[in-house]
Structure 1
């Protein structure tokens, strides 16, 4: 597989401003971690291995530079290198018979100008969509009209990618967008979805019922995949799917097949494991990589300073092992079933 430095830029933008943006299909989207080498550079081989692993598991799309991906710890050069590594792997490994794989890049900044610049850089690297938090630094001086102008100005820029709103109050100084504002923004032709990490399933239900056709409404964690699917949501964008992509995808499949009790039982197991991931954040997800994918992925468990890896034998590490043991068994079983069916 070519290294990103050997790649030529995409022949043309994936979503020209004068054409309708790519609609995000229903399914599981995975906010990938950032992986680092021993000398603290972006680990391109690890990034590409994990991308290929997720594609083989049948995920719908990939998210780079979200909260799970340590975006705030990366330079502009590093962001581009990671996107190009994922794009290259998708180009080589994705089964495009079912359509293109959305590659969503986190492009959040406090100003319209800088956010557009991040979108332009992500587009040049091959991303298809941008995931954008609301600005929160001056929260006390902003109202919903200010936030609406922020998103509408970005989405209307010829340089910007199609926008997915990232409603994550904990990462935006408490800014929590209500369903009225989100429905207003959903009317913009280049604002194409929302990730609801607020966990508000009532909001999710209102958006699923009233947003325009083609507007993606997704939950932001794996502990309410079934709940979101029941009320008409379109999928999940969940960090736990880095570890258990098949289990996350299996929940809506069981529900759609009318196997409600099985879907509920699997959601219970996923929610237990996701609570561990929620409490430990991206550090816990990274620590679990060798548990799920073998000791060869030990380097993937290292976050960037000021954070440090959870050491085996520590109370936190043992808590992750115990809390995710049931899900690990389920994911291994589903992977074996998939391999046997080929």
Structure 2
């Protein structure tokens, strides 16, 4: 069991993360490009009511690289306060804290602990990837885990890390650290996922798929759920897919997985800006990303939105 509060040797026990859907939220901005507190609150409430297992801030969907440290903490505090007001004060809040130096990564972890986070999620440093050996990367994660007041999840996402792809051997080595409690595999390598599940002797270590399009594959290999950006748009569909699988309704689960995978493919191709555009279209909020990113316009936007119609119709049905 992981621990929190203070450096190693001075942490309190933390229960393992519950299996299920964790939603990496998008960041919302006002017309003057400030953090949109009201929309952050309303979106968080919608997600809580859909039956998710937890929330993630400052993941790859959350525009963390567009935010200052102060803005990150504001979003964390707003999300935590909303959870408390909605009667779920203990809902897990995983905070993305990856940075290019070990020093700043530790600083972000400390700030996450002070602003309502329960766990942190760390991308491997990659800017100087050609200079980083596997041993240096392992040392980075261990140093962060030693100093972090919150339990650490490894975030393996090669597309966001200059192509750096942690192997199952590296992940299993890191999983031996008492304050490293899970991994998110956005690499989509289900063989790696199965090896991590099978090779981990700690029953509290959590292995999550990083996209909704391989939810069944994750669960079939013994994974504990998914951390999926599509959950911003269709949390009920993603939760229902997990429920059907665990209920043994495999044919229904497979059918729903197809719908979810098609919707997720639209989000994967369009990135977080497509999720914001779809939120604006189907929920009347979402807004623009920070520059230099931008939403599509005209016919390109309409084509993009058409790809979300099926999953959003499913979400509407499940909400009834």
TM-score range, shorter chain: over 0.9
TM-score by length of structure 1 reads 0.89
Q: Which residue pairs with 2:307 in the alignment?
A: 323
Relative to 1, partners in 2 of residues 1:231 and 1:43: Cα closer, same or farther, differing over 3 Å?
A: same
What runs of 5+ residues in structure 2 fail to find an aligned partner?
A: none
SS at 1:45's partner residue?
helix
Partners of 2:272 and 2:49 in 1: CA distance: 22
CA drift at 1:314: 2.8
Relative to 1, partners in 2 of residues 1:262 and 1:22: Cα closer, same or farther, differing over 3 Å?
A: same
Q: Which residue pairs with 2:55 in the alignment?
A: 62
Q: Which residue pairs with 1:43 in the alignment?
A: 36
CA drift at 1:38: 0.3
Q: Which residue pairs with 2:212 in the alignment?
A: 222
| 1:275-301 deviations in Å (ceiling 9; x for gaps) | 1100000000000003332x3x1xx23
Q: Aligned pairs, how many?
A: 313
Is this contact kept in 1: 2:45–2:82, CA < 8 A? yes
Q: Which residue pairs with 2:171 in the alignment?
A: 182
Q: Which residue pairs with 1:29 in the alignment?
A: 22
CA drift at 1:92: 0.6
SS at 2:155's partner residue?
strand
SS at 1:218's partner residue?
strand
Partners of 2:118 and 2:233 in 1: CA distance: 24
| 1:152-185 deviations in Å (ceiling 9; x for gaps) | 111011x432111000011111111111110111
Q: Which residue pairs with 1:113 in the alignment?
A: 103
Partners of 1:22 and 1:155 in 2: CA distance: 17
Is 1:266 aligned to 2:256, yes or no?
yes
Is 1:201 aligned to 2:187, yes or no?
no
Q: Is the deviation greater in 134-143 or in 269-278?
A: 134-143
Partners of 1:162 and 1:22 in 2: CA distance: 10
Is 1:314 aligned to 2:299, yes or no?
yes
Partners of 2:164 and 2:28 in 1: CA distance: 29
Q: Which runs of structure 1 show a deviation greater than 3 angstroms over 4 or more consecutive aligned residues?
A: none
Is 1:170 aligned to 2:146, yes or no?
no
Partners of 2:206 and 2:165 in 1: CA distance: 18
Aligned pairs for 1:274-313 (under 5 A) are: 274-293=264-283, 295=284, 297=285, 300-311=286-297, 313=298
CA drift at 1:213: 0.7
Partners of 1:263 and 1:62 in 2: CA distance: 23
Partners of 2:15 and 2:107 in 1: CA distance: 21
Q: Which residue pairs with 1:19 in the alignment?
A: 12
Q: Which residue pairs with 1:150 in the alignment?
A: 140
CA drift at 1:112: 1.3
SS at 2:95's partner residue?
strand
SS at 1:156's partner residue?
helix
Which of 225, 231, 234 lines up with 1:241 in the alignment? 231
Is this contact kept in 2: 1:288–1:301, CA < 8 A? no
Is this contact kept in 1: 2:29–2:287, CA < 8 A? no
State the superposition RMSD in angstroms: 1.3
CA drift at 1:249: 1.0
Partners of 1:184 and 1:202 in 2: CA distance: 17
SS at 1:62's partner residue?
strand
Which of 325, 330, 334 lines up with 2:318 in the alignment? 334
SS at 2:43's partner residue?
helix
Q: Is the deviation greater in 41-50 or in 252-261?
A: 252-261
CA drift at 1:322: 1.6
SS at 1:119's partner residue?
helix
CA drift at 1:309: 2.3
Q: Which residue pairs with 2:83 in the alignment?
A: 90
Which of 131, 141, 151 lines up with 2:121 in the alignment? 131
Partners of 1:246 and 1:253 in 2: CA distance: 10
